Amino acid sequence: MTKVSDPIKINKTELKNRLTMAPTVKFDYAGEDGKVTEKHVEHYRERAEGGLGLICVEATAVTPGGRFAKNHLGLWEDAQAEGHRAITDACHKNDVAVIIQLNHTGITANPNCGPAMGPSAVPTRSPEIRAKEMSTDEISEMQDHFVAAALRAKSAGYDGVQLHGCHGYLINQFISEKTNLRRDAYGGSTENRARFGADIIQRVRQECGEDFLISVRTAGIEPDVATAIAVAEEYVKAGCDYLQVSTGIEWEDPTVTDKGEHYNKFCSLGVRFHDHFRGRVPVSCVNSIMDPAQVRYLIENELTDTVDLGRAVLADPAFPEAVLSDKPFVKCFNCPNCQYGPGMPHKCPAEMRRMSGK
């Protein structure tokens, strides 16, 4: 029986256990320069000290125009890489592997940062504004930005990168038939719609080397699980080492329901991907996994290879000790609007309770 404490090797990177931290953006930690601040370093150091096997640092923009907001972390220029070394050092000193998620917002661009652009000229979040359809030259240039950011990540000591391929951002926009209406090499068939991300994976592998861990946080439904798995197959063929499964743009698969399991329907996407890729590529599942027994159930029943933790380790960085050693912990209050979210003052009630010792 697999245990949560069992190590796992992903490419050449060994994780000391099966607990990973999901990328969760700290919107008011960075300045307009997109550089790492001491707040970032302390945030990740504390989670590394809590006993995770791997940390995925938050979504990080590959261009200034691809940010969520002007206080969004970036790796679009060399001067930003130096600060990331403090994060990777803090993780490695605690025997924690660390990767960073690379992203561009695409058609969901913040107008204060840059223009909305994507695979096709479709409506944006503002119905009166249509996104600019990227030319093939612009697609190639955008891929260059992802590869350059990956090289900077490697120079800063990251064990690898994760491409943000879900949640409706640029890579996800290319795989969705709702946002990708192209009829060239980047549209139409599933293979073509996956090409944008697959090309980036191939180029990161060429530039960063065989030992560099390449992960994709991919959509589990687009529009159904079978198509989403077919997209992931293209990523794996291109050289993806690790799939972390979340949600995307489309949701039309009636077979995905809450069935009274020990996990919800979002988490079940990772379980289904794990069943498909078992023995070939490690898979991680995520979403509302905030109970130690739930984590153990997923791993010990071999429903997933690793478990991504978000709010559980935001509320209490020592949550891994509760899973591994049955120690007490402060539970996430499951606030309707997480206090770590955009525009929030980072006053998580659970974290404040933990810090006060009450």
Spell out the domain ranges in the chain.
Answer: 8-356
For position 345, what pLDDT does the model report?
Answer: 61
Residue 138 to residue 152: CA distance in whole angstroms: 21
Q: What is the pLDDT of residues 106-115, one digit of tens each?
A: 999 999 999 9
Residue 80: its pLDDT value, please?
98
Q: How far apart are CA 298 and CA 63, in angstroms?
A: 37
pLDDT at 8: 98
Q: What is the pLDDT of residue 85?
A: 98
User: What would the two tokens of residue 292 be?
Assistant: 């130690």
The pair of structure tokens assigned to 8 is: 């796992």
Query: Domain 8-356, what fold?
Result: TIM Barrel (3.20.20)
- Please give the C-alpha separations between residue 152 and each of 45, 108, 186, 227, in angstroms, as whole numbers: 20, 25, 27, 33
Give the pLDDT score at 125. 82
Instruction: Please list the ranges in the chain whose pLDDT falls under 50.
Output: none
The predicted pLDDT at position 57 comes to: 98
Provide the pLDDT for residue 357.
66
| Positions marked catalytic | 169
